[in-house]
């Protein structure tokens, strides 16, 4: 801790110290577009502070974070992701509706020196998503070193709207996080162990960030990429701005706000009107993170129960930024562009959400624990295990999930595979905010709250490849605040073999059968169809509405007769 205090004083960057603010130009990540994406994760260095190198992780040629991937709804994309670290990793496509085997959770590991090649069709609507490591139990470490990046999905509906969309000019990605550093000779090392909150605010990996934006409407794509800290965002002049999209898609209409709370993993897109702000002047994007703003201290039983509300400035749960209002990003106003957006659309889309009348099953998830002696949080008092499936759902089920947080702290709840509609929240700090009325995959669960959402679990099923639900505080996730669910398809009609052909010099047998995308099927063989004679000969995971399997085994091919069948196997976990 001595080195951390010394570094803060040396740089003059603590909240109360520097008499004059010095800004650094906000780094805007480069973009990758198309249907083929090459990503390479490696260790590098960045100078967060002049003259001091900091070891970091980055994708491709950057020195922290990674490029923004721009994809189109309906495209089938192929990704080549090479792990050039000296350790295993994974890469999760946060918010995407894709097969479990492509999801990039803890099971889809990428060993050092290897390349993972997932391919999937973009089914999500236009919005902001992101990619990041999800290796259990090393997620916090790899995120802390800077591994991650944003994804922008475009679609025809969004493209038809008069919105700012010139990337890096009036459409700006903003990944918000913080880091703690300690000195080691000429290095400023990121503190990753026993550190829930950073002392220095970063935006796209930039400390004391500033950007010049045109005098017109601008779009900010805000991502909370923190370890634990939540943000209550607003502007220094208290101006009204407009939420136009949540985690997974456009809102029906712009929603006027002066504050937006953003928990870890959540994203929001906002429009800010700089058209009436004088060229050359500036405003600050602020974190209004005092206790009252995030539903914590001052309420009975909730003292410092919001992420970043702890009173200490040091230690595992302390920070120079805790329980403070402070600047995140300085926005300087420049000249308007040639074709500026100067008005606000009145409507954006027409979302139709599932309701309680559609629900076939209600599932209750309790966030538990966090109290002495071990302080570990769990779901339903069950710690995460890679070998345990916590929930099993039917394909196409419309379910109501009730997430109850009676644990010792607030959390950020994230579920893979689907986008949900948040329908209610009961908590000491109040109910739903208007800007939460949209497609979401992550929600802020305050202490002593009950949160209800409805979702349809469609398209993808597998008895082998689970999806995750977890607290998105990566330290909690690493400690076991995580569960697994399978979406299963028991439809018999999907198991019929549609074609059976022999080909090639060895008479290989090619089978084709109807399938559900993302489902893993087991192939079995029998000489005589006796119930005890079936043997497993392989599996295949479908990426379309049909699947193919070719038997090349010379012993089976030489038999005068044989029988094949396709089954959805019983879960092997």
How do residues 409-424 score in pLDDT, each as one tens digit?
Answer: 999 999 999 999 999 9
Spatial distance between the Cα atoms of 45 and 26, rounded to a whole number of angstroms:
18
- Own/partner contacts of 491-496, CB < 8 Å, gap of 24 or more, are 491/395, 491/516, 494/519, 494/568, 495/521, 495/565, 495/566, 495/567, 495/568
Backbone dihedral angles phi then psi of residue 385, each to the nearest 5 degrees = -140, 135
Task: Write the CATH number of the domain with boundaries 492-567.
Answer: 2.60.40
pLDDT of 220 reads 99
pLDDT attached to residue 531: 60
Res. 394 pLDDT band, cuts 50 70 90: very high
Examine residue 373 and say whether the peptide bond preceding it is cis (omega within 30 degrees of 0): yes
Among 155, 167, 163, 150, residue whose Cα is nearest residue 244 = 163
Mean pLDDT score, 473-480: 96
Q: If you average pLDDT over residues 180-206, what whole number do you get?
A: 95
Alpha helices in 120-271 (DSSP H): 139-144, 156-159
For domain 356-488, give the CATH number: 2.60.40.420
Strands, sheet with 68-72, edge to edge from the N-terminal-most edge strand: 31-33, 68-72, 149-154, 127-132, 92-94
Position 493 confidence tier, pLDDT thresholds 50, 70, 90: very low
Exposure string for 411-436, b = 16+ CB within 10 A, e = fewer: bbbbbbbbbbbbbebebebeebbebb
Q: By three-state DSSP, how is residue 476 classified?
A: helix
Phi, psi angle pair for 158, to nearest 5°: -65, -40
Q: What is the rounded average pLDDT for all residues in the chain?
A: 90
**Contact yes or no for 129/94 (Cβ under 8 A):** yes
pLDDT recorded at residue 265 = 98
Which one has a higher pLDDT value, 473 or 297? 473
In the chain, residues under CATH classification 2.60.40.420 are 356-488
In order of 184, 189, 223, 321, the CA distances from 54 in angstroms are 10, 5, 23, 21
Q: How far apart are CA 63 and CA 205, in angstroms?
A: 9
Q: Which helix (H) or strand (E) holds 286?
A: strand 282-288
Whether residue 30 has pLDDT greater than 70: yes
What pLDDT was estimated at residue 348? 98
Task: With a cut of 60, say whether residue 216 has pLDDT above it.
Answer: yes
pLDDT at 10 over 50: no
- Tokens, residue 539: 């599996």
* Structure tokens given for 205: 């990996």
Percentage, residues of the chain above pLDDT 70: 91
Q: What is the mean pLDDT of residues 199-208?
A: 98
Q: What is the pLDDT of residue 20?
A: 60
Q: Which pLDDT score is estimated for 528?
A: 74
Average the pLDDT over 279-289 and give the result.
97
With contact defined as beta carbons under 8 Å apart, do 524 and 534 qualify? Answer: yes
| Helix ranges (DSSP H) in 387-473 | none
Report how far residue 385's alpha carbon sits from residue 482's, in angstroms, rounded to the nearest whole number.
8
Give the helix/strand (H/E) hosting 4. Answer: helix 2-11
> Residue 27 above 80 pLDDT?
yes
pTM, two decimals, is: 0.86
Mean pLDDT of 147-163: 98
Residue 573 CA to residue 571 CA, distance in Å, equals 6
End-to-end, the C-alpha distance of the chain in Å comes to 44
What is the rounded distance in angstroms from the CA atom of residue 261 to the CA atom of residue 269?
A: 12
**CA–CA gap between residue 131 and residue 171 (Å, rounded):** 19
Lowest mean pLDDT among 111-115, 460-464, 487-491: 487-491
Instruction: Say if residue 338 is exposed, middle or buried (CB neighbours under 10 Å; 0-12, 13-18, 19+).
Output: exposed
What is the token pair recorded at 174? Answer: 């903003």
At 68 the pLDDT is 98
Confidence of residue 494 (pLDDT cuts 50, 70, 90): very low
Cα(86)–Cα(100) distance, rounded to whole angstroms? 26
> Which residue is listed with tokens 């260790």?
43
pLDDT over 90, % of the chain: 76
Residues for the chain: how many in total? Answer: 573
Backbone angle region of 408, left / alpha / beta, with phi > 0 → left and psi within -120 to 50 → alpha = alpha
Distance CA 253, CA 270 (A): 12
CA atoms within 13 Å, Cβ hemisphere of 79: 25
Contact in structure between 248 and 125 (CB atoms under 8 Å): yes
C-alpha–C-alpha distance, residues 211 and 550, integer Å:
57
Local confidence band at 73 (pLDDT 50, 70, 90 cut-offs)? very high
pLDDT category of residue 169 using cuts at 50, 70 and 90: very high
* Pair of tokens at residue 458: 């469609």
Tokens standing for 15? 């909240």
Residue 305 scores a pLDDT above 90: no
Residues 102 and 120: beta-carbon distance below 8 Å: yes
pLDDT value, residue 543: 77
Interacting residues of 298 by C-beta distance below 8 A, sequence separation 6+? 291, 292
Task: Tell me the average pLDDT across 429-451.
Answer: 93
CB 198 within 8 A of CB 152: no
453 phi and psi angles, rounded to 5 deg: -135, 160
By C-alpha distance, which of 321, 51, 382 is closest to 195?
321
């Amino acid at each position: 801790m001595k080195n951390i205090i010394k570094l803060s004083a040396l740089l003059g960057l603590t909240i109360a110290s520097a008499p004059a603010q010095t800004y650094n130009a906000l780094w805007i990540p480069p973009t990758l577009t198309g249907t083929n994406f090459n990503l390479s994760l490696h260790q590098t260095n960045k100078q967060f502070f002049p003259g001091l190198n900091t070891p970091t992780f980055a994708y491709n040629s950057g020195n922290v974070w990674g490029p923004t991937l721009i994809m189109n709804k309906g495209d089938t994309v192929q990704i080549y992701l090479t792990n050039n670290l000296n350790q295993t990793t994974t890469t999760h496509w946060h918010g995407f509706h894709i097969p479990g085997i492509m999801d990039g959770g803890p099971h889809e590991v990428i060993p050092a020196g290897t390349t993972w090649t997932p391919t999937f069709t973009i089914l999500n609507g236009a919005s902001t998503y992101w990619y990041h490591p999800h290796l259990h139990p090393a997620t916090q470490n790899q995120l802390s070193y800077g591994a991650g990046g944003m994804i922008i999905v475009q679609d025809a509906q969004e493209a038809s709207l008069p919105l700012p969309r010139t990337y890096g000019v009036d459409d700006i990605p903003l990944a918000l996080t913080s880091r703690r550093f300690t000195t080691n000779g000429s290095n400023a090392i990121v503190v990753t162990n026993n550190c829930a909150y950073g002392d220095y605010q970063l935006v796209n990996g930039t400390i004391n960030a500033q950007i010049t934006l045109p005098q017109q409407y601008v779009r900010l794509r805000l991502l909370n990429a923190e370890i634990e800290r939540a943000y209550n965002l607003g502007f220094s002049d208290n101006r009204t701005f407009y939420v136009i999209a949540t985690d997974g898609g456009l809102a029906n209409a712009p929603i006027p706000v002066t504050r937006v709370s953003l928990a870890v993993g959540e994203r929001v897109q906002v429009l800010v009107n700089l058209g009436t702000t004088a060229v050359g002047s500036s405003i600050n994007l602020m974190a209004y993170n005092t206790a009252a703003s995030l539903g914590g201290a001052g309420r009975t039983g909730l003292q410092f129960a919001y992420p970043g509300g702890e009173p200490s400035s040091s230690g595992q749960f302390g920070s120079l930024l805790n329980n403070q209002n402070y600047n995140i990003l300085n926005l300087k106003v420049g000249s308007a562009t040639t074709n500026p957006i100067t008005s606000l659309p009145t409507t954006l889309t027409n979302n139709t959400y599932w309701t309680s009348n559609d629900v076939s099953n209600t599932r209750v998830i309790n966030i538990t624990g966090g109290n002495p002696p071990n302080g570990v949080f769990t779901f339903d008092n069950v710690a995460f295990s890679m070998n345990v499936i916590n929930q099993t759902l039917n394909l196409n089920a419309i379910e109501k999930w009730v997430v109850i947080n009676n644990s010792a702290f607030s959390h950020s709840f994230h579920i893979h595979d689907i986008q949900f509609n948040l329908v209610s929240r009961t908590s000491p700090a109040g109910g739903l905010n208007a800007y939460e009325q949209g497609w979401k995959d992550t929600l802020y669960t305050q202490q002593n709250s009950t949160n209800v959402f409805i979702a349809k679990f469609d398209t993808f099923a597998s008895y082998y490849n689970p999806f995750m639900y977890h607290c998105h505080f990566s330290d909690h996730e690493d400690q076991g605040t995580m569960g697994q669910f399978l979406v299963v398809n028991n439809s018999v009609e999907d198991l019929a073999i549609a074609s059976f052909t022999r080909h090639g010099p060895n008479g290989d047998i090619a089978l084709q059968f109807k399938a559900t995308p993302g489902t893993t099927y087991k192939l079995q063989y029998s000489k005589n169809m006796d119930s005890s004679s079936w043997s497993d000969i392989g599996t295949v995971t479908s990426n379309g509405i049909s699947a193919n399997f070719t038997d090349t085994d010379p012993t089976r091919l030489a038999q005068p007769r044989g029988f094949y069948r396709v089954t959805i196997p019983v879960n092997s976990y």
